Amino acid sequence: MNRLFFPPLLFRIAYFPICCIVAAFPVSSPADTLVLKEGGIVRGEFLNPDDVPRAAYEMRTDSGIVLSVPVRYFERLRSKEREPLLEYGRTVPLLKDTVASNMEIARWCEEQGLSEQRRLHLNRVVQLDPDHAVARQRLGHQRIDGLWTTREEQNLARGYVLDGLHWRTQQEIDIEQAAARKKATLSRWRKELGKMRAALPSNPAMKEKISAIKAPEAAAVLSEMLRAEGSADARMIYVRALSNIGTPPAVQEIARWSMEGNEPVNDVRLSCFDEIRKHPAAIPLIGRYYASFLDPARCDNATVNRAAVAIAKIGARTMVPELIEALSTTHRWKKKIVNQGNVNLGSGGLVWGEETVEGEDRFDNQDVRRALVELTGQDFSFDKNAWKNWLMQSRKTPVFDARRG
């Protein structure tokens, strides 16, 4: 940093060079002006306003040169930022406390950029004359039903809350805060469960630690890990952990994985059913979820049979009517085939034509029949009418399932 220091004895000699330096480096918009006793001025940035006791005034010009002026050669400091406040401090005590005087000083404060002082005097005008329209309007007040109200009062009346610099509903604030807390919680669980998973191969005790998790907040992260996990053993651990948490979303995630997760290992799917059975209150809801896959209009035949197995495994007896309807299903299909009789001799040579062929296949679903037998103790093969007659008769008797006595 370039620094010029003017010792007391040399200041008279140095005065001319100071003026030359200031003149040689014009400033575009200096913030402060240092007035010297000898009549010179230095424009730039006042660097040491907080020095106590003060030995010198340091100013940095726009060119980057720092001048150090001893206090004995200092006359006064004019600051573009401080001058209005100084003027305000000198003027206000001399004013009369009237509407006109306060309006005039408020106007001057606005011109000088003294926003807080402007508001102070406008508020004083309102105190002296509550119906002063100009002061009210400049304060942002509005006249509603004959009454002057502030923006704050209007927002509060509408149920808004000041959140930092913005007015918002408490519901918006609560939702945002809840989302932030949830995000932080998920981040914490991802980190913690990630460490547990990394330690699983070398630390057998970690298996029980993961399975014993009870925090509902961990369910979403366990679901993510279940879908991304390549190890069947680890997936089984996550399923047990979700079951241990036991909340409806956690148990439903087990059901979703058993049905939609394309679980390649049968033991893991069977483990899902075992864990679901530990939550009897959830079985009716999960049974309806599985039954939604019995619809041949949206599911292929393999999916229909897989859903029937799931219903039987969790013991969802309330889904018997849906199973009866799915005993035999018809699945429509369409596919494109090459029609060798339709040849297009285009610029690219021979092009075989294509056509879309539609058809349907009807299936007697063995897994659906087995599910009905397991749930009811009856067997009417694929005769839907016989099954429906039995169901109607069974509903007239106090016992639905003879196997339960």
What pLDDT, in 10s, does the model give residues 330-354? 999 888 777 655 555 555 555 556 7
Contact 335, 357 (CB under 8 A): yes
3-81 classified as CATH 2.30.30.100: yes
DSSP letter, residue 375: H
**What per-residue confidence (pLDDT) applies to 351?**
53
135-156 in b/e form (b: 16+ CB < 10 A) is bbebbebeeeeeebbeeeeebe
Report CA torsion sign: 248, 250, 252, 255: negative
Summarised one tens digit per residue, pLDDT across range 194-221 is: 999 999 999 989 999 999 999 999 999 9
> What is the full DSSP assignment across 187-198?
HHHHHHHHHHHH
Structure tokens at 35: 């007035």
Q: How many CB atoms lie within 10 A of CB 367?
A: 20
**Residues of each domain in the chain carrying CATH 2.30.30.100:** 3-81
**What per-residue confidence (pLDDT) applies to 156?**
86
Length of the chain in residues, anyone?
405
State phi, psi for 119 to the nearest 5 degrees: -60, -40
CA distance linking residue 402 with residue 393, whole number of Å:
13
In this structure, of 30-34, 219-223, 373-377, the range with the lowest mean pLDDT score is 30-34
CA distance linking residue 272 with residue 263, whole number of Å:
10
State phi, psi for 331 to the nearest 5 degrees: -115, 120
Q: Which helix (H) or strand (E) holds 149?
A: strand 147-149
**What per-residue confidence (pLDDT) applies to 315?**
96
**Residues of each domain in the chain carrying CATH 1.25.40:** 90-158
User: What is the rounded average pLDDT for all residues in the chain?
Assistant: 83
Q: How confident is the model at residue 363 (pLDDT cuts 50, 70, 90)?
A: very high
Is 0.95 topped by the overall pTM? no
Q: For the chain, what is the total number of helices (H) and then of strands (E)?
A: 17, 12
More reliable by pLDDT, 185 or 62: 185
287 pLDDT above the threshold of 60: yes
What lies within 8 Å, CB to CB, of 388 at 6+ separation is 324
90-158 classified as CATH 1.25.40: yes
CA distance linking residue 188 with residue 177, whole number of Å:
17
**What per-residue confidence (pLDDT) applies to 26?**
35
